[in-house]
């Protein structure tokens, strides 16, 4: 199962940044996110046939909370980055990864479904 992945550490995400000799910063592409947030919003954790059956960290509100977070990130982004009649000058893409160092993610590999991973574009 393991629907929210990849599990990464903060250090792994920061490792992708390099400063070039001329001072430019280069960021490697972020890994894709596999998220179960939308599917988990309608799941039944009492159904033995469900991937979410008796999940300890199951969050049926996760998808809605992620959408609220996306709205707030978008509003903050638009406050600081310009747009004109032709549209925004920049596009922000963001992703949430499970924190590999957190005890929550130390359950048996491949047996966690929570409804919490997410990514969006502003």
List pLDDT tens digits, range 40-63.
888 888 899 988 888 877 788 888
How far, in Å, CA of 28 to CA of 10, rounded?
Answer: 14
Q: Which residues contact 16 (CB under 8 A, 6 or more apart)?
A: 27, 28, 29, 30
pTM above 0.85, yes or no: no
How far, in Å, CA of 119 to CA of 121, rounded?
Answer: 7
Q: Is omega for the bond preceding 34 within 30 degrees of 0, making it cis?
A: no
Higher pLDDT, 57 or 80: 80
Considering only CA atoms, which of 102, 104, 98 is closest in space to residue 118? 98
Is residue 69 very low, low, confident or very high in pLDDT (cuts 50, 70, 90)?
A: very high
């Amino acid at each position: 199962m393991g629907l929210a992945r990849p599990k990464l550490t903060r250090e792994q995400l920061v490792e992708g940044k390099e400063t070039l000799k001329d001072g430019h910063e280069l960021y490697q592409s972020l890994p894709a996110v596999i998220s179960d947030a939308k599917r988990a919003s309608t799941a039944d954790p009492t159904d033995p046939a469900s991937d979410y059956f008796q999940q300890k960290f199951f969050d049926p509100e996760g998808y809605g909370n992620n959408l609220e977070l996306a709205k707030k990130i978008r509003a903050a982004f638009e406050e600081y980055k310009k747009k004109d009649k032709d549209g925004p000058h920049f596009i922000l893409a963001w992703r949430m990864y499970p924190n590999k160092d957190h005890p929550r993610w130390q359950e048996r590999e491949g047996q966690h479904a929570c409804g919490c991973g997410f990514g969006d574009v502003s």
